[in-house]
Amino acid sequence: MASTMEKHQKEENCSKNQSPEADCVQPVKCPVVIDDVPLNGPTLNVHAAEGFINQAMAIIMEDAVKKATDVREKVCEWCPPEQLKELLDLELRDRGEAESQILQRCRDAIRYSVKTTHPRFFNQLYAGMEPYSMVASFVIEALKPSLYTYEVAPVFTLMEEAVLRKMMEMIGWEEGGDGIFNAGGSMSNMYAVNLARYHHCPDIKELGLSAAPRLVMFTSQECHYSISKAAALLGIGTKNVYVVPSDKRGKMIPSALEELIKAAKSEGALPFMVNATAGTTVLGAFDPIEEIADICEKHDLWLHVDACWGGAALMSKKHKHLLKGIHRANSVAWNPHKMLMACLQCSAFLVRDKTNLLQRCHSAQASYLFQQDKFYDVSYDTGDKSVQCSRKPDAFKFWLMWKALGASELEQRVDRALAMARYLAQEIKKREGFRLLMEPEYANICFWYIPPSLRNLPDSPELWKKLHTVAPVVKERMMKRGSMMVGYQPHGDKANFFRMIIISPQASSQDMDFVLDEIHNLGKDL
Amino acid sequence: MASTMEKHQKEENCSKNQSPEADCVQPVKCPVVIDDVPLNGPTLNVHAAEGFINQAMAIIMEDAVKKATDVREKVCEWCPPEQLKELLDLELRDRGEAESQILQRCRDAIRYSVKTTHPRFFNQLYAGMEPYSMVASFVIEALKPSLYTYEVAPVFTLMEEAVLRKMMEMIGWEEGGDGIFNAGGSMSNMYAVNLARYHHCPDIKELGLSAAPRLVMFTSQECHYSISKAAALLGIGTKNVYVVPSDKRGKMIPSALEELIKAAKSEGALPFMVNATAGTTVLGAFDPIEEIADICEKHDLWLHVDACWGGAALMSKKHKHLLKGIHRANSVAWNPHKMLMACLQCSAFLVRDKTNLLQRCHSAQASYLFQQDKFYDVSYDTGDKSVQCSRKPDAFKFWLMWKALGASELEQRVDRALAMARYLAQEIKKREGFRLLMEPEYANICFWYIPPSLRNLPDSPELWKKLHTVAPVVKERMMKRGSMMVGYQPHGDKANFFRMIIISPQASSQDMDFVLDEIHNLGKDL
């Protein structure tokens, strides 16, 4: 290999007298060439890309910020997959394209994307544009930090710590705890299952489950599907997730939980954790945490609260009662990217433990990253708490918006969203052809739309069968018109119904009225 | 609850005669108030935030793009944790701050952050500023898409598919396969372990591992620590990761692999997968994939190739021989955010299987998200392949830069980085006081710096003990001066050495010379 190098290096004895500081971007007299590649001077000059970046930023501002959030514009420009593929010219080729073409590609990508920041996007558990958080995310994308070590991400390491501390304070863990931001609530729930398991059986980390007893966990039938995914991934098995019945409002029934725990024990299985949900995905229900905590204490089970969606209520003096008892949880998942509108993704996993359980459970002590002979306090190198290696500093997106808005404004937003949900529920009850599943407790409003042709039918399986087909058609028409986005789903034995999610202060009571009018307009002929 | 609502709603009988389209941002005559919250009109107007966003973008352009990539500026402004905490005023309070203050906070966050896009950042397996990819990431942050369903992310769903298809073509899977972008290479490796396990024992998804045989996997001693983390997380156990010895260059020894497989079988364990590394983290070594594939075929083991770092060589006609045989892998992890400089994170997991194994392994069929009665082809709803729920459209960051640069420019960049690595190795061999660990095969250049005081010592344990302390001190001084960032680590029985990673076309041979000069200047008195 050395001889190849010498052959290619044409002027290796040429004296190097350029100052590396001053001359490195200028042409040099003494070319360095290896393997036919000239190596003097950079071949990518960011300065030269400034014009492109500025033009692209102007397009983003115009199309992806202003137009995307303008209530007079469409929420989506529907295009079926095959047609969109052609429009976008997706193929990746050998030759690059002109910058003007790339700018057009940005415009097209924005045009045909769903505007999740539009005031009439009610389809998911996140919505809206948060300017401060968005700016924070731009800073992150430009700087490309990764959160394993203090050395590489000093600012964001400290911000993560500060945000986690504040979130723990809101939960009521007065003595603090530990935590980590990660790539979504599903991962937070997965962390919870792993930590609970490690807490009960630390040997499993090394020895695996094949020699372990059958571990069993408990969650309600209304929980997020990530609990089941975590059980599958972690080798616990989905059948070892015992599903606790919920009441009519979607809340876990504590007595049913206790019965299941006893049943599992009598089968010789080892119960190790309970997942309580604070804000279920479909109904927005809150499991009774206090009563569940009592049962967990009695049976020595780890209590995890999936508050990804409902955690925001902790910001509100008026609504935090929904999570009463959450301070008794061993761990909590809470996504500020949902109700609190931090830029996607912003998901915290919090642990009450103060014995470094998170790190002990996940550490692999990579010597190339977590050297112990560094010149600073390596307890700031938080990467070994994570199952990821590169990890984005998502906490900054929440930190900056909190600094800008203060807890008081965050509280007002939560209060307003929940008041808006009540307003919508009330309007639904007033209008003919709309039927509420239940009074909302949080920001999910679930309802059926009954077209005039079905309104006089008796409440029978036939009616529900017909009703089941209404929401999908209304949804199709809604998407094709692009006027708004509202989700629908079947749920248990319930026929397809709409689920409105209210989050953003960009939406108003007029938008709620519009949603009901529009559903009627789209579906009245069905 | 209904009565509370009625009490608070002060003017519920007021007629609603505003057009929701035209008047929704104007003051209305008929206030809607619920729970003391006025609900008419939006309380967040993105239009009003335009000035702030524009100012913030200007700061990002100036400080996080131009200054961060300017070779005359510092790579980092070192500040120890306690001091930085005070400087940043991290506490989150009840009241919000003025926009001018928030802009200053952005400036400070940028100032004290490490400039990973600086031409002299050589500390991690990623580096450099890629303008097209950065712009793509800004588009993503503004639009807030999430990749579970076509309906919510039509453009990015199709782009992900196109990028995965192209990457599979580069791997040599002529008949295609399947894949998913996810939050980092550690997650890709975790997917591989789960898929391999599911392929061998599909019942584990439901039943868990407690009733399963002891599963054993194989990887080299040089592999990334995420393999071990995956085994811990998935309940396989770190002791069931059998560590195959590597040769002096860091490549797995195939005969040793086969011996270990036989040993595991004779113990009654069930071998199920081999992880081969293409581009190890420290040495940049490539395991001999062809020979490993032969062994995997013989023993019916899943072959995963962790090409997170080395996959980029597939873009180069000159260097793709390093991954010879990769088309025989069952799965591949490949991070375009590393050598190919896509914005963090951009990590692909690719599977050769065409029987929907990825979806079958991970699916939970959430009915609120993956409705089967949608009006479009729901095979475009890719979310159930993932263990995440929200997932960012990272493929767009690679797609846009590929469109701009073409495969040809990507190839040139890889060729140039590897030529630069050879140049640096050659300079190290020429200079007194520098000692190469081995000739680089890829873009990792590992070397010791020996200060003059140690140069005349005999090659003894005492020398190595002293040498072990040199790199940490040089690193400390380097960080405090902020002139560059180069990593160091011990490795096996090797004392602390520097590891230079060469990626970005912003760096030149002058920067290589600078690195060696600077290390000497920083360490010559030791």
| CB-closest option in A115, A151, A422 to B35 | A422
Identify all chain B residues contacting A187, using CB atoms and an 8 Å cutoff. 183, 387-388
B58 and chain A: CB distance < 8 Å anywhere?
no
| CB-closest option in B237, B422, B489 to A206 | B237
CA distance B261 to B328: 19
B69 and chain A: CB distance < 8 Å anywhere?
yes
Over residues B257-278, mean pLDDT:
98
CA distance A294 to A317: 24
Stretch 235-264 of chain B: residues touching chain A, C-beta under 8 Å: 235-240
Q: Each residue's pLDDT tens digit in chain A (526 positions)?
A: 333 333 344 334 444 444 444 444 445 568 999 999 999 999 988 888 999 999 999 999 999 999 999 999 999 999 999 999 999 999 999 999 999 999 999 999 999 999 999 999 999 999 999 999 999 999 999 999 999 999 999 999 999 999 999 999 999 999 999 999 999 999 999 999 999 999 999 999 999 998 899 999 999 999 999 999 999 999 999 999 999 999 999 999 999 999 999 999 999 999 999 999 999 999 999 999 999 999 999 999 999 999 999 999 999 999 999 999 999 999 999 999 999 999 999 999 999 999 999 999 999 888 888 888 999 999 999 999 999 999 999 999 999 999 999 999 999 999 999 999 999 999 999 999 999 999 999 999 999 999 999 999 999 999 999 999 999 999 999 999 999 999 999 999 999 999 999 999 999 999 999 999 999 999 999 9
Stretch 296-315 of chain A: residues touching chain B, C-beta under 8 Å: none
pLDDT digits (tens, 9 = 90+) for B48-65: 899 999 999 999 999 999
Q: Which pLDDT does position A28 carry in this prediction?
A: 54
A493 and chain B: CB distance < 8 Å anywhere?
no
Over residues B457-467, mean pLDDT:
95
The answer to whether B122 and B115 are in contact (CB under 8 A) is no
A457 and chain B: CB distance < 8 Å anywhere?
no
Q: Which long-range contacts (CB under 8 A, 24 or more apart) does A239-244 make?
A: A239/B206, A239/B207, A239/B208, A240/A214, A240/A215, A240/A216, A240/A269, A240/B207, A240/B208, A241/A216, A241/A217, A242/A216, A242/A217, A242/A218, A243/A219, A244/A218, A244/A219, A244/A220
CB contact under 8 A, B95 and A158: no
Over residues B407-436, mean pLDDT:
98
A39 and chain B: CB distance < 8 Å anywhere?
yes
Structural domain boundaries of chain B? 2-43, 148-202+211-403
pLDDT digits (tens, 9 = 90+) for B394-403: 999 999 999 9
B459 and chain A: CB distance < 8 Å anywhere?
no
CB contact under 8 A, A41 and B408: no
CATH 3.40.640.10 matches B148-202+211-403: yes
The H or E element that residue B445 is part of is: strand B444-449
Q: Which pLDDT does position B5 carry in this prediction?
A: 37
CB contact under 8 A, A141 and B139: no
Mean pLDDT of chain B: 93
Q: Which pLDDT does position B46 carry in this prediction?
A: 87
Enter the ipTM: 0.94
Residue A239: count of CB within 10 angstroms of its CB: 15
Identify all chain B residues contacting A43, using CB atoms and an 8 Å cutoff. 416, 505
pLDDT digits (tens, 9 = 90+) for B164-201: 999 999 999 999 999 999 999 999 999 999 999 999 99
Q: Quickly tell me which residue has 């054993």 as its tokens.
A: B216
Over residues B105-132, mean pLDDT:
98
Q: Which pLDDT does position A29 carry in this prediction?
A: 63
Residue A459: count of CB within 10 angstroms of its CB: 7
A285 and chain B: CB distance < 8 Å anywhere?
no
CA distance B166 to B176: 9
The helix/strand count (H/E) of chain B reads as 17, 14
> DSSP string spanning A271-301?
EEEEEEEBS-TTT--B--HHHHHHHHHHHT-
**B339-358 exposure pattern, b = at least 16 Cβ within 10 A, e = fewer:** bbbbbbbbbbbbbbeeeebb
CA distance B95 to B104: 17
CB contact under 8 A, A212 and B207: no
B105 and chain A: CB distance < 8 Å anywhere?
yes
Helix axes A154-171, B81-88, angle to 10 degrees: 70
Report the topology of domain A177-364: Aspartate Aminotransferase; domain 2 (3.40.640)
Q: How much of chain B, in percent, has pLDDT values that exceed 70?
A: 94
Q: Which pLDDT does position B366 carry in this prediction?
A: 84
Q: Which pLDDT does position B30 carry in this prediction?
A: 81
Q: Quickly tell me which residue has 């590489």 as its tokens.
A: A152
pLDDT of residue B97 exceeding 60, the answer is yes
Q: Are strands A215-220 and A241-244 parallel, antiparallel or unpaired?
A: parallel
Q: Which pLDDT does position A243 carry in this prediction?
A: 98
Q: Which pLDDT does position B18 carry in this prediction?
A: 42
The answer to whether B160 and B380 are in contact (CB under 8 A) is no
| pLDDT band per the 50, 70, 90 thresholds, residue B16 | very low
Identify all chain B residues contacting A183, using CB atoms and an 8 Å cutoff. 182-184, 187, 388, 391-392
Over residues B103-128, mean pLDDT:
98
CB contact under 8 A, B25 and A71: yes
The answer to whether A362 and A335 are in contact (CB under 8 A) is no
Over residues B317-331, mean pLDDT:
98
Query: How buried is B305 (Cβ within 10 angstroms: 0-12 exposed, 13-18 middle, 19+ buried)?
Result: buried
Identify all chain A residues contacting B58, using CB atoms and an 8 Å cutoff. none
Identify all chain B residues contacting A7, using CB atoms and an 8 Å cutoff. none
- Best interface-test mutation with B: which of A23, A233, A470 has the largest number of B CBs within 10 A? A233
Q: Which pLDDT does position A202 carry in this prediction?
A: 96
CB contact under 8 A, B113 and A146: no
| CB-closest option in B108, B112, B392 to A344 | B392
CB contact under 8 A, A423 and B39: yes
pTM of the predicted structure, to 2 decimals: 0.94
Number of A/B CB contacts below 8 angstroms equals 655
The answer to whether A207 and B235 are in contact (CB under 8 A) is no
CATH 3.90.1150.170 matches A404-523: yes
Q: Which pLDDT does position B28 carry in this prediction?
A: 54
B316 and chain A: CB distance < 8 Å anywhere?
no
| pLDDT band per the 50, 70, 90 thresholds, residue B29 | low
Q: Are strands B241-244 and B215-220 parallel, antiparallel or unpaired?
A: parallel
Over residues B135-151, mean pLDDT:
96
Peptide bond into A345 cis (omega under 30): yes
